[in-house]
């Protein structure tokens, strides 16, 4: 892809950019720095730089191709970090991307994340890590804005959570944009950069496809979010969980109940932030029963929560039973 092709957009998003080749011709990039500013990316597309200092210097250099495989490797690695997935890393991401290259398939996040079947080239351990990573995304819970931010597309930052506040589906977004107009919708929410708008429009088909697939992970505007602080080992009769996996399991159980008023759980790291405390038998909290609530039934717990004057201590097994709508056992 050539840089001039990128500039054809009606939004004219890259007016303060030049191709590396042009920047060299204008001597904005001195001859001594040629080795650091290659004109073409490994994917074959032109590289570009942002011009600063009234045209006397450059900041940053990147490939002009939005679907450059080198970019996608790093973006994919960042995506898993934002979803709090551990163990994937650039090496596995690179192998997955090269699978698509070797099979002449289009490299997009939607194709990668929604692909079923095995990837040739991944070891058994890497396949397990990859499967766990995809399951983490599938059982995550977040607002639509948070989800779009976590996808790690260029130009789409954390502020998109505020921009899409109150929206819980791509249909909600389309309706709001149709009502307000595209430019007004974003400018009234603080998005002034045409580069950001260009990126969003370019990636919107992928974003829409992923939102449709992962719609069950998106918090609705009416959904209640309860905070949970976990301490000690999350050991249950079914086995031991990491804290992250325990919350994922609880949220999966909540989804399975099809509650009239949806509820999801969010892990927090300190007791003052928490509505519930889940304490393993090895924890100080479990031994001292400092936060133990003398309540048994779910409706009694809800009444206490409305008063907002009580923190409720559960063992891991008791909390799973509570999530399923059962009673908290004595102990």
Checking if the pLDDT of 303 tops 60, the result is no
d(CA 218, CA 329): 32
Q: pLDDT exceeding 90 applies to what percent of the chain?
A: 25
Tens digits of residue pLDDT in 193-222? 888 888 898 899 999 999 999 988 888 766
Can you give the three-state secondary structure of 39-101, one letter per residue? CECCCCCEEEEEEECCCCEEEEEEECCCCCHHHHHHHHHHHHHHCCCCCCHHHHHHHHHHHHH
Complete DSSP assignment for 183-227? HHHHHTTT---HHHHHHHHHHHHHHHHHHHHTGGGBPPTT-EEEE
Checking if the pLDDT of 253 tops 60, the result is yes
The per-residue b/e assignment along 82-106, b for 16 or more CB within 10 angstroms, e otherwise, is ebebeebeeebbbbbbbbbeeeeee
Tens digits of residue pLDDT in 22-70? 999 988 888 888 778 899 999 999 999 988 877 778 888 899 998 899 9
d(CA 74, CA 82): 12
**Nearest-CA neighbor of 64 among 46, 76, 49, 52?**
46
Q: What is the pTM of this model?
A: 0.72
Q: In which band, very low, low, confident or very high, does the pLDDT at 295 lie, cut at 50, 70 and 90?
A: very low
Those residues with Cβ within 8 angstroms of residue 6's Cβ, 6 or more apart along the chain or in another chain: 14, 48, 64
Q: Of the ranges 152-161, 250-259, 282-291, which one carries the lowest mean pLDDT score? A: 282-291
d(CA 97, CA 103): 10
Q: Within 13 A of 90's CA, how many CA atoms are on the CB side?
A: 7
Q: Of the ranges 121-125, 241-245, 261-265, which one carries the lowest mean pLDDT score? A: 261-265
277's tokens: 């405390």
- Give the strand pairing for 47-52 and 57-63: antiparallel
42's tokens: 């490994």
The pLDDT of residue 321 is: 84
Distances from the Cα of 150 to the Cα of 76, 136, 144, angstroms: 10, 13, 10
Q: In which band, very low, low, confident or very high, does the pLDDT at 270 lie, cut at 50, 70 and 90?
A: confident
Distances from the Cα of 276 to the Cα of 273, 280, 293, angstroms: 9, 13, 10
Contact 207, 151 (CB under 8 A): yes
253's enclosing H/E stretch is: helix 243-256
Angle at 55 between CA 50 and CA 57, to 5 degrees: 65
d(CA 156, CA 317): 40
Those residues with Cβ within 8 angstroms of residue 10's Cβ, 6 or more apart along the chain or in another chain: none
The CA R_g of the chain, rounded to the nearest whole Å, is 24
């Amino acid at each position: 892809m050539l840089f001039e092709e990128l500039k054809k957009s009606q939004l004219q998003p890259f007016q303060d950019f030049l191709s590396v080749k042009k920047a060299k011709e204008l001597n904005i990039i001195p001859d001594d720095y040629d080795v650091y500013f290659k004109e073409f990316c490994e994917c074959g597309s032109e590289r570009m730089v942002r011009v600063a200092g009234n045209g006397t210097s450059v900041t940053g250099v990147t490939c002009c191709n939005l679907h450059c495989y080198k970019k996608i490797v790093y973006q994919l690695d960042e995506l898993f970090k934002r979803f709090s997935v551990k163990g994937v890393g650039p090496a596995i991401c690179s192998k997955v991307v090269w699978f698509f290259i070797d099979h002449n398939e289009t490299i997009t996040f939607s194709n990668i994340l929604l692909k079923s079947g095995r990837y040739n080239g991944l070891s058994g351990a890497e396949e397990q890590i990859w499967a766990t990573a995809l399951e983490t995304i599938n059982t995550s819970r977040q607002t639509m804005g948070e989800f779009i931010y976590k996808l790690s597309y260029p130009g789409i930052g954390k502020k998109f959570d505020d921009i899409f506040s109150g929206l819980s589906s791509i249909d909600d977004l389309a309706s709001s944009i149709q009502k307000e107009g595209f430019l007004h919708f974003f400018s009234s929410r603080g998005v002034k950069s045409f580069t950001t708008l260009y990126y969003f429009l370019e990636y919107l088909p992928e974003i829409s496809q992923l939102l449709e697939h992962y719609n069950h992970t998106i918090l609705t505007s009416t959904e209640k979010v309860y905070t949970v602080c976990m301490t000690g080992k999350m050991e249950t009769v079914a086995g031991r969980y990491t804290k992250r996996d325990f919350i994922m399991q609880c949220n999966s159980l909540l989804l399975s109940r099809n509650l009239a008023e949806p509820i999801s759980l969010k892990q927090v790291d300190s007791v003052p932030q928490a509505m519930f405390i889940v304490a393993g038998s090895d924890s100080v909290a479990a031994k001292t029963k400092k936060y133990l609530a003398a309540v048994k039934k779910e409706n009694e717990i809800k009444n206490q929560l409305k008063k907002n004057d009580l923190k409720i201590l559960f063992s891991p097994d008791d909390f799973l039973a509570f999530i399923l709508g059962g009673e908290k056992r004595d102990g």
